[in-house]
Structure 1
Amino acid sequence: MTTLLQLLDTRAASEPDRVALIVPGAEPLTHGQWAERSRRAASGLVDRGVKPGDRVGLVFGAAAWPDYAVAFMAVLRAGAAAVPLSARLAPADLRFKLHHCDTVGVIHTGGAPDAPGWTARLDDLWGSAELPDPKPADLAQVLYTSGTTGSPKGVTATHANLVWGCGGRRRPFAHSRHLVHGFPIGTNAGQQMLINALDAHPAVVTLPWFTPDRFAALIETHRAGTVFLVPAMAIELLSARVHEEHDLSSVLLLGSAAAPLPGRVAADLCRVFPKATIANYYTSTEAAPAQTVMIYDPERPGSLGRAAAGSAVKIATADGEPLPSNSTGEVWMRSPVSRSYYGDQGSKVFQRGWVRMGDLGYLDEEGYLYLVDRESDVIKSGGFKVSTIQVEEAVYACPGVVEAAAVAIPHAMLGKAVMVAVVGSVTQKDLRIFLKDRLAAHELPVKVITVDSIPRNHNGKVDKRALREAVT
């Protein structure tokens, strides 16, 4: 397959009545409906003047996944590039992204955003214009990063990038009739679920708003064999003890993405999903479809695994020079089909097919990847560098801890020191005693606070900048 359009049309021709997407409260979307509706909407876009290479914003809420899927493919059929954005974004953030990539118009579900060009609902776009024939190298998508370490960046992907690995004889997740996920529209993980709806064996099921009980009920109702979530969702499921109210025995694969899965959380998931293989996926919006995959192994609880087929990973200097095993350096990944930043071809993130991930880590002798920390999160305390990931792993191991995050705070003598925010019933005194023999002196938190929740961004990652601002 060379484009997602060919993938959908082939599936629609062979299995027109097979359900592709399910959202409670909405009509299921079949592959046949998906193809036909996207053709009509694409003609409507061309009638509005959309030309090959234009960017079209898609502002949709999670309850409208089926319509979003139609709109996404309609934009591609019109020869344009889709800019997926969640309707939950702040108006200023939405405005910035729509203007940054010069969108010519926006398709939305209601409450037209402040945007350049025209705005329209999906149902307004039926037309009859002749459609172009996009090529594999054409721009298909501009997807924005979360912006936790700076301004959000638009990451471009071609048709060839999005379709890479699709169209094989054996469809992914063939053990499942249904795949349940909790990823939002406008995220890299959410886009992968959209591609799964096109290419994978199971129907893809999601819900308008994540709550632990609703998510577990969705798994039980559909007897889902495959589940994808982010660590924050996994923690909520465990805390709510949903396994006591819902039958989760159908799950054979549980995948976690978007952030490292703490070892204790992975071990608890093994108990709650007794038949499931727990897999941790590591990638980024810039590096996709490259990724590493790690099947949870108690002997390697902190590893993110090895590079998946078609991908490569190395530990290197800032200039890309490889470092030997067990040496800490920058994590680099190589994708089989590269992406880039919109309007910034000279970025140092993309170099000769390799992508700087912004993380520090190391590879062991067998090629397993371990993260030391996000480069921007490393705490330089006195003469030492402290890994917040290592601190958080130790905190998670303490009984009574539900969630935890470590950040740097100013210190009069050391410059910076460790602060830990904790959700749970553990007392600050008991946590300090627990950590005393598990962390080095320079890693011990000088401040521990108990909070109701850890701030997270739209992608489900801990927003450490927001946490620091809230407590300092």
Structure 2
Amino acid sequence: MNLTVPQLLRDRALADPDGIALIVHDSARLTYHQWHERSLALANGLLARGVTSGDRVGLVFGAADWTDYAVAFCGVLAAGAVAVPLSDRLAPDDLRLMLAGCRATGIVHATGHTADLAVPEAGWSATVDRLSAETSYEKADLAAPEPGDLAQILYTSGTTGRPKGVSATHANLTYGCGSGRRPFAHSRHLVHAFPIGTNAGQTMLINALDARPAVVTLPRFTPGRFASLIESYRAGTVFLVPAMAIELINARVAERHDLSSVLLLGSAAAPLPSAVAQALTTAFPSATIANYYTSTEAAPAQTIMMFDPERPGSVGRAIAGGRVRIATATGEPLARGETGEVWMRSPAVPRAYYGDPGSETFRDGWVRMGDLGYLDADGYLYLVDREGDVVKSGAFKVSTIHVEEVVHRHPAVIEAAAFGVPHPVLGSVVTVALATSEPLAPEELRIFLKDRLAPHELPAHVVTVGALPRNAGGKVDKKALRRTMGSV
């Protein structure tokens, strides 16, 4: 069934007008009727501003603004325009770069946002309330978008280079929706803390439109607040990133909060170390721990792995009509057990880089993930590393994911990141940056790792930091770590 996002919202508002779609804890909540009516009002305000079908409109909001953001997103799409979600935590220069890159014609932003958002192509900026007040939704004739029309441009995290705008149609965003089966039917509330402007955040927005539970978030993540939110709403479903999971575990929130209502805990955006997954099973005693693997480019294709101690390093198998394969750089398939590039195929209309339809990332419906990995005999996917993160040390290639997995087993390690730094003889050597719960000497860590890693995998340098640098999506910023070590 091919739907548009405005159709999805309209149908839900008709079926469940007083149902709660979104809650920002202690701040705001939004019913489906309110969401629909306010989006139509905003859409007509956009038309009054001269927005036409296919125009790109930047949306600059923060975590406290999820309800207004949801109204703005659906309002832009109801006007036939294209939404460009952007976090208000981005640096002003990055905001301007992204808005200029997609040639945005205007900006809808959160109330109180004072940053200078002006770029030559963006002729106006306004809040949700101001746009909605400029005209009534009864005064304009909205031209409904088609499922194949462009709906969204979402910028990548830029972990391997300059962020790129990934375009998605309505049919891509609504794939699997509207079937009558409400996802996460075991829950009345779904709690998450994903940022606006990320693929994970957009997935939560579509869940708010189509899934059974009300989607609950909070203005700012802290372990205590997040655990309190789960407890107070008796949430049945929780989504987070590994960095948040690590914070929850080390804050020992399970000792102060009842988290037994959670039946599904999903982790996304980065590999979940098995030691962390194991600790989550203790903190959330009723929950199945699931690791989700996808990318902004590949969605809605994904693999899901229900935590299995027998397969601690796997990110699972493809689901819901998607496919995964291991291939060469030119796309030639490799046999089971062989390491190569990970490719995924979406069951929906594929995405593309905006303004760059010929990119080598997308080929014949397949998406090049930028990761190296292999499939076992049962079709389970194992990631070896990001292509750009593999450390080439002498004659060996070292997987930083494997090094991180083993380092996380040390009881004093809170979080760790492995990366390569230049070496005059070997080309590069492994360096590990870590945050610890107690002092941990580099030599003590090397002794712990000696029988767990091969000699060429052992870190030549160990650096203790207060916390690992992360981007807005929760991924470790290894470029920043390399700069800290004096490497470009």
Q: Same fold (TM over 0.5)?
A: yes
Bigger shift: residues 116-125 or 266-275? 116-125
1:45-124 correspondence runs (5 A):
45-109=46-110, 110-111=113-114, 113-115=117-119, 116-124=122-130
Contact 1:77–1:134 (Cα < 8 Å) also in 2: yes
Q: In the alignment, does 2:350 pair up with 1:338?
A: yes
Instruction: Say whether the 8 Å CA contact 1:44–1:129 is kept in structure 2.
Output: no
Report what 1:43 is aligned to.
44
Letter in 2 for 1:179: L
User: 1:428 is matched with which residue: 442, 445, 448?
Assistant: 442
Hey, what does 1:2 align to over in structure 2?
3
Distance 1:197 1:434 in 2: 45
1:284 corresponds to: 295
Asked whether the 8 Å contact 2:155–2:164 carries over to 1, the reply is yes
User: In 1, distance between residues paired with 2:411 and 2:118?
Assistant: 48
Alpha-carbon deviation of 1:25? 3.3
1:347 partner letter: S
Distance in 1 separating the partners of 2:395 and 2:17 = 64
Under a length normalisation based on structure 1, what TM-score does the superposition of the two structures give?
0.99
Deviation string for 1:63-98 (max 9, x for gaps)? 010000000000000000000000010001101000
Aligned residues of 1:38 and 1:74 also touching (Cα < 8 A): yes
The yes-or-no answer on 1:406 pairing with 2:418 is yes
CA distance in 1, matches of 2:167, 2:361: 13
Shift of 1:26: 2.4
In the alignment, what sits opposite 1:442?
456
Any residues of structure 2 matched to 1:316-465 within 5 Å, and which? 316-336=327-347, 337-424=349-436, 425=438, 426-465=440-479
Among 242, 247, 258, the alignment partner of 2:258 is 247
Q: Distance in 2 between matches of 1:137 and 1:170?
A: 23
Q: Would the aligned equivalents of 1:304 and 1:371 in 2 still touch at CA under 8 Å?
A: yes
Partner amino acid, structure 2, of 1:450: T
Instruction: Name the residue aligned to 1:19.
Output: 20
Higher mean displacement: 421-430 or 152-161: 421-430
CA distance in 1, matches of 2:174, 2:181: 15
Secondary structure of the corresponding residue to residue 140 of structure 2: coil
Partner Cα distance (2:458, 2:65) in 1: 46
Show the counterpart of 1:179: 190
- 1:4 CA displacement: 1.2
Partners of 1:153 and 1:453 in 2: CA distance:
27
Paired AA for residue 237 in structure 1: L
- The CA deviation at 1:411 is 1.1
State the distance in 1 between where 2:383 and 2:109 align.
39
State how far apart, in whole Å, the 2-side matches of 1:118 and 1:10 are: 32
Q: Please state how far the C-alpha of 1:37 moved relative to its aligned partner.
A: 0.4
Instruction: Report the number of matched residues.
Output: 472
**CA–CA distance in 2 between the matches of 1:317 and 1:344?**
22
Could you report, residue by residue, the CA deviation over 1:358-393 in whole angstroms, capped at 9, with x for unpaired residues? 000000000000000000000000011000001111
- 1:31-79 CA deviation, whole Å, 9 max, x = no partner? 0000000001100101100000000000001101000000000000000
RMSD (CA atoms): 0.8
Rounded Cα–Cα distance in structure 1 between residues aligned with 2:291 and 2:140:
45
Which digits, 9 at most, give the CA deviation of each residue in 1:260-290, with x for residues without a partner?
A: 1000000000011000000000000000000
Gaps of 5+ in 1: none
Distance in 2, matches of 1:342 and 1:13, equals 34
What residue in structure 2 maps to residue 468 of structure 1?
Answer: 482
Equivalent position SS for 1:17 = coil
Work out the CA distance in 1 between the residues paired with 2:63 and 2:28. Answer: 14
Alpha-carbon distance between aligned partners in 2 of 1:342 and 1:445, rounded to the nearest angstrom: 40
Please, what TM-score do these two structures have when normalized by structure 2?
Answer: 0.96
Amino-acid identity (%) = 68
Between the aligned partners of 1:283 and 1:241, the Cα distance in structure 2 is: 29
Return the alpha-carbon distance in structure 1 between the equivalents of residues 485 and 331 of structure 2. Answer: 37
Distance 2:66 2:26 in 1: 11
Q: What secondary structure does 2:105 align onto?
A: strand
> How far did residue 429 of structure 1 move?
2.1
Runs of 4+ aligned residues of structure 1 deviating over 6 Å after TM superposition are none
The farther-off stretch of 163-172 and 191-200 is 163-172
CA offsets 1:117-156 (integer angstroms, 9 cap, x no match): 1000111112232111100110000000011111100000
Q: Which runs of 5+ in 2 are unaligned?
A: none
CA contact (8 A) 1:287 1:338 kept: yes
CA distance in 2, matches of 1:125, 1:365: 56
- Residues 193-235 of structure 1, C-alpha deviation per residue, up to 9 Å, x if partnerless? 0000000000000011110000000000100000000000000
3-state SS, counterpart of residue 103 of structure 1 = coil
Whether contact under 8 Å (2:421, 2:485) holds in the other structure is no
Matches of 2:173 and 2:321, distance apart in 1: 14
Q: Does residue 272 of structure 1 match 2:283?
A: yes
- Structure 2 CA distance for aligned equivalents of residues 25 and 39 of structure 1: 26
Partner residue in 1 for 2:211? 200
How many Å separate the matches in 2 of 1:81 and 1:169? 27
User: In the TM superposition, what whole-angstrom CA distance separates every residue of 1:294-334 from its partner, at most 9, and x where no partner exists?
Assistant: 00000001000000112000000011110000000000000
Say which is worse superposed, 167-176 or 346-355, in terms of deviation. 167-176
Q: Give the Cα separation in 2 of the matches to 1:74 and 1:196.
A: 17
